[in-house]
Structure 1
Amino acid sequence: MSELLAHARGDEAASVLGLVPTIERMRRRPLVVTRDVDLGPGVFALWRKYPDWDEIHYAPWVADLDRAIGHEFGHILMGHEGRSVHDTARRTLPSEWHGMARMMLRECGQGSCSDERVRRLEMEAEAFGSELCRRIWGAGIARSARIRSLLNEAL
């Protein structure tokens, strides 16, 4: 968190979305944040990792966009690998297709991770997003991203 805010330039750390260029510089790859009307029920935001860039998609009905985007930033910056293909299929496909998806994934050699691991990763990302929002909102009076970062560490 402190490293992210310390790398921010100008007014980038004045908002969560303003940190996109900071993350792009830190990771040396593009990051696109886009509104996505096709996200499934209960999905606030979603990180998609491609070979040469990353995308964060967010639902138009999200009540706290900063928190949802901050959560996805947490996954990215903490090196999370994302959800298994098995879990994604189970969450997105109609229930009558689950058996077929399970069989196809088994044939393709795809395993699944334990629920405890997924819960831990989600808790870490949520803590990151919450802390990021707190730091940005709580230190809005400081003009410099570096000063804001130091002030927040002190708080």
Structure 2
Amino acid sequence: MADPIAALVAMLKANASIAANALNERIFGGELPAIEAASMPRKAVVIRPSGGVSLTGGTFVEADTLRVDVFAYGATPNEAFTAMMVTSLELRRMRPGVWAGTMLHSCNSAGGASSGREPGTEWPREFRSFQVLHGLVAIDE
């Protein structure tokens, strides 16, 4: 099966701007691994599925949309903000392609940004949502 979260993580990890900002090894799908959480707060990005309305409902198209929430962390609020701005720009720049066996067609902003702190830990955090159009069938790379 296609995995749009893994595809977004792979796409971002392959990006030069993300690597230049020391984020490419700390981009995760779903949640922070326990070993990473032990070193927080520092630069990291987590992409989580968050539901949303399908834009292909009632069709036979083998593609669907998925809303994803992106959380960017940092040692300071400014570092979290910078991590989000770099990540957000690269998601908006995404062109159609296959990553981690999943076709990604587009990625669009699905709302404004929010700043704050991670509940329970008080790590500086930025939050933004995106709508991703992706294939439903895995593709051999």
TM-score where L is the length of structure 2: 0.29
Q: Which has the larger radius of gyration?
A: 1
TM-score normalized with structure 1 length: 0.27
More strand by share: 2
